[in-house]
Structure formats: C-alpha cells, structure tokens
Amino acid sequence: MLDRRFVADNVDLVAANCRARGSAADVAKFAALEIVAESDAILRAIPNLTHPAAPVGGEDAAVEIRRGATPVPSFPFKARDHVDLGAALDLFDFEAGATVAGHGFYFLKNDAVLLELALQRYAVDLLQREGFTVMTTPDLARDTILEGTGFMPRGPETQIYSITGSDLSLVATAEITLGGAFHERIFEAEELPLKLCGISHCFRTEAGAHGRATRGLYRVHQFTKVEMFAFTAPEQSAAMHDLLLDLECRLFDGLGIPYRVIDTASGDLGGPAYRKFDLEAWMPGRGPAGEWGEVTSTSNCTDYQSRRLGLRYRKPGEKGTQFVHTLNGTAVAISRALIAILENHQQADGTVTVPEPLVAWMGKRTIAPPRR
C-alpha cells in the first residue's frame, strides 16, 4: 500500500506506473490517489487556528501588552542610525557584500564581529542556565521538513532560497531544523517539555523590501540567529509560551534596550502560529523621531507542526499516542540586535557604550573608531 505523503510528493511517478500497467483497477486506483494528493495539498495550505484572546484584524490591530525596563532615550544631540555609526566606527562593509553576493549581503568588521560573538555567548549562557540543550544546526533542510514546519520552499510567494536540482533549501530559521531533527519521533511523557537552543545562519529572499526603514542591517538576506524551540504536552504549551517571552524580555532588559511587546493580530499571524508575541526595540535612527522595529518574536504553534512532522508522545498507562505542541522564539537575531545596541548606546562623541553583560566577551567598554 502506497504512503499518502509519498503519493503527494511523487504523483507523476505514481500516475505513470498505474497507466503503464493499464488495467481498469489500476486506473481507478490512480484516480483515488490523485484525489489523496490533491486533498493533502489543500490540507497543507490551511493555517492553524487562532487563540481566542489574540486581537482580530490586520497589522494595525496589534495590541501592546508590555514595556521593557529601559525607557526610550532622549539624546542631547542628533541621533545617528546604525549605518552612519557603522561607517564612522568601521563596523560594516555593505559595498563588499554587494560585490560578492548582491544587495542585502554585508561584511561585519572589527568590533561588530566581537559584538556578534558576544551576543551569541550572552544568549547561550542564559538559555543553558534555563535548561536548554544547545545545538548548532545545518544551514540546509529537505523541502519536506520546511513544509512540515509550515514554510513554503517553492512557489512565487516563497521567501526561501532553494537549491536547483535538489530537494534542499537554505533555512530561514533554526525553527525548521530543530523541529525537523525529531521528525516522526514518539516522546515519552517524562521527556517533555524538551527545550532546545539552536545557533544557525538564516537566509531569506526578503522580496519587495525597500525604503529607509529597511536600510542597512534591518532586512538582509543572511544573518546569524540564536533560536529557542520547545516540545511540550498540550497542557504545558501556554506556560512555555510565557517562558519564552520572559526570556526574550530578560535578554533585552539586560542589554539596556527599550522595547515593547506586541500581541500579534489574527490577520498578521503566519500559518503555523496559534498565538504570537513580537518584541519591538526602539531604534532612534529609524525615521526623523525614531521608530519601533521588531527584533524577536515567539509563537505557540500548538499541534500544527507536529501533525505534519509526525511528532507524538505517549502517556503512561494510556493506549495510543497524542500530538505534542511545538513553540519557537528568537533569543537573539544578531543583525537587528546590533542595530538596537549601536543606536541606543551611542554617545555624543560618536562612540558606543558596550552593554554591561557583553563587556567580558568584548574585552572593552567602548566601541571607538579603530586606530590607523
């Protein structure tokens, strides 16, 4: 008996085989298999349900639910954006990035490299103390894994870079690889919740992104990210979602970055998310008076991904299995964290103060122009 997923992914091969055999029974079987493949394609396109407390509407209907501990700064001088600061401090090379790979790619230089490494250690150290298992993940995943986590690897609206002539794509987030690592796994109840921390490069086409708000590092094609991912029993997922959000807030409070937390509206949720919270940092260099810009988010995907990836758990004394819930949250997306640090900690003399938790790894308290 043919597997439904195999048929969905190989319908042309199955069709040719059935037609070659030629019997009425085989033709009827193929017709049934075509319907199965069609129904699977439709089912994969249906998004998750939405939490009843989520705001209803589009992006403008989002509701602010929390502010960070650090107030929005008031500079006694004209604040510069991270692109201008980076040029003065010799931190980025956007021109070389465009020469090598095209617009939206970049080189980090000098203290920006140290900041990236320090931010990774800062996030990883906190998550290890909270019981997360730290992993580095592949930069590539099979298209079936992308689909299983709710990402669209091919098609006109995809934001994914696909590898021609293969079933592989570059990952947009370690959420894909961390979820896919346990494909078709059956957990024992005592293994849950399982908390993972993944460090990966992230690749996104960011088609159609233009304008001052996307200048510099804000919307790029490649960046490094420390990602949180959790597998839970259904009754544990709401509390886990709160924990992931609290950890994001702790990380940015520690960096002295002003932020607000947004409860994302129903019309702005991605397909897998049942509920999603965005953490938006204050970016003084965005626009004439500064603006909020998303730096992290955390989503409860309930059993949406686990149904597609075959992720289940077994309760002691009960027959059968149940689907786990999956959750994800950005600990630190390096490129956007760099923007928030540089713009909020800039000084009148053009230097930038290093946030206290990063000083030990940076080996300095101030970022100044390098000596020639």
pLDDT tens for the chain, residues 1 to 372: 344 455 455 555 555 565 555 666 666 676 777 888 787 777 777 899 999 999 999 999 999 999 999 999 999 999 999 999 999 999 999 999 999 999 999 999 999 999 999 999 999 999 999 999 999 999 999 999 999 999 987 776 789 999 999 999 999 999 999 999 999 999 999 999 999 999 999 999 986 656 656 789 999 999 999 999 999 999 999 999 999 999 999 999 999 999 999 999 999 999 999 999 999 999 999 988 899 999 999 999 999 999 999 999 999 989 999 999 999 999 999 999 999 999 999 999 999 999 999 999 999 999 999 886
Strands 291-300 and 168-170: unpaired
User: pLDDT value at position 215?
Assistant: 85
User: pLDDT value at position 34?
Assistant: 81
Contacts of 250 (CB under 8 A, 6+ apart): 126
Is there a catalytic annotation at residue 286?
Answer: no
Taking alpha carbons only, the member of 119, 95, 89, 45 closest to residue 216 is 95
Is there a catalytic annotation at residue 372?
Answer: no
User: pLDDT value at position 14?
Assistant: 54
Report how far residue 238's alpha carbon sits from residue 246's, in angstroms, rounded to the nearest whole number: 13
Residue 65's SS3 state is strand
Amino acid at the residue 70: T
Strand partners, 297: 278
What is the H or E stretch that residue 323 is in? strand 322-323
User: pLDDT value at position 155?
Assistant: 72
What is the H or E stretch that residue 230 is in? strand 222-232
The single residue of 200, 237, 266, 297 carrying the catalytic annotation is 297
Is there a catalytic annotation at residue 336?
Answer: yes
CA 129 to chain centre: 22
User: pLDDT value at position 45?
Assistant: 79
User: pLDDT value at position 42?
Assistant: 79
The single residue of 219, 275, 286, 308 carrying the catalytic annotation is 219
Question: Number of helices (H) and strands (E), helices first, in the chain?
Answer: 12, 17
User: pLDDT value at position 17?
Assistant: 61
CB-CB neighbours of 26 under 10 Å: 14
DSSP state letter for 207: T
The single residue of 116, 130, 206, 294 carrying the catalytic annotation is 294
Q: Residue 348 has which token pair?
A: 């009148």
Backbone angles phi and psi of 264, in degrees to 5: -70, 135
Q: Residue 21 has which token pair?
A: 């055999």
Residue keyed to tokens 């924990």: 243
User: pLDDT value at position 91?
Assistant: 98
The single residue of 80, 204, 275, 286 carrying the catalytic annotation is 204
Q: What is the Cα Rg of the chain in Å? A: 23
User: pLDDT value at position 1?
Assistant: 39
Is there a catalytic annotation at residue 297?
Answer: yes
The single residue of 80, 275, 308, 336 carrying the catalytic annotation is 336
User: pLDDT value at position 74?
Assistant: 94
Backbone angles phi and psi of 320, in degrees to 5: 75, -170
Report how far residue 345's alpha carbon sits from residue 366's, in angstroms, rounded to the nearest whole number: 10
Is there a catalytic annotation at residue 204?
Answer: yes
